[in-house]
Amino acid sequence: MNYARTFRDNPQGEALYTYGTTAFAEIFSVSGCLPINNFRLGQADDPASISGDAYNRVLLKKRKGCYACPIQCKRRIALKDTQYDIKGRYGGLEYETIAALGTNLNIVDLKAIAKGNEICNRYCLDTISAGMTIAFACECFEAGIINTQDTDGLELRFGDSDLMLRLLPMIAQRQGFGDVLAEGSARLAQRWEVTDISANLTVKGQEIPMHDPRVKVGVNLEIVI
């Protein structure tokens, strides 16, 4: 029997092909471990808006992958509407980016998140580090640790997709407040004297991935060490 041909005959195989990793945002939200507002919360108000089905409906154009693999996990996306022009050549976003540039900044607009993915890929920015650094800055701003004098007048708030899309090129080109953010969360924590490890979510200077350590305890081990 040909393994590749029968792979999708079971629900898990079919789901892996249909969604790749994009199903995890909704699944993690139901499980209470989807990063939201710099890991302050674990469930989205409207998980359907960032679900695998929404992704396939709004963004997906084609599936691609490695030779003979039945999963074909790579997403090909493209979109052109009145608000966004998303080029297919920068690749489709996967779960980590949906969370890092999306839910962890309290952004649930898949089109805006896909545009952020495009910007990061164009400038070779890691979406997790970029999104987590913006989330850390938003938390520091909302806590009053920094203010508009530190941010060149920018109001850093969760849920602001325009802010995310404005900051990413500023980080890549080290312009204005983007030059500060380009240092990453760990150095910003030193600069802003943040000692609360529940806000500065880094391990050995690197931002953690989009897996809540309160549920995935293996990730927690990294943070404790």
What is the per-residue binding string for ligand SF4 in 87-126, x denoting contact by CB under 6 A?
----------------------------------------
Q: Which of 15, 18, 37, 65 binds ligand SF4 (CB under 6 A)?
A: 65
What is the per-residue binding string for ligand SF4 in 66-85, x denoting contact by CB under 6 A?
x--x-xxx------------
Q: How far is the CB of 20 from ligand SF4 (least distance, A)?
A: 7
Instruction: Pick between residue 117 and residue 185 the one whose CB is nearest to ligand SF4.
Output: 117
Instruction: Pick between residue 104 and residue 127 the one whose CB is nearest to ligand SF4.
Output: 127
User: Which residue's Cβ lies closest to ligand SF4?
Assistant: 65
Rounded to the nearest 10 degrees, what angle do helices 161-172 and 110-123 cross at?
A: 0
Q: How far is the CB of 67 from ligand SF4 (least distance, A)?
A: 8
Window 20-39: residues binding ligand SF4 (CB under 6 A)? none
Instruction: Pick between residue 20 and residue 131 the one whose CB is nearest to ligand SF4.
Output: 20
Instruction: Pick between residue 94 and residue 118 the one whose CB is nearest to ligand SF4.
Output: 94
Residue 6: both structure tokens together: 């029968």
Nearest partner of 90 among 58, 68, 122, 115, judged by Cα? 122
State the number of binding residues for ligand SF4 (CB under 6 A). 6
Chain residues binding ligand SF4 by CB under 6 A are: 65-66, 69, 71-73
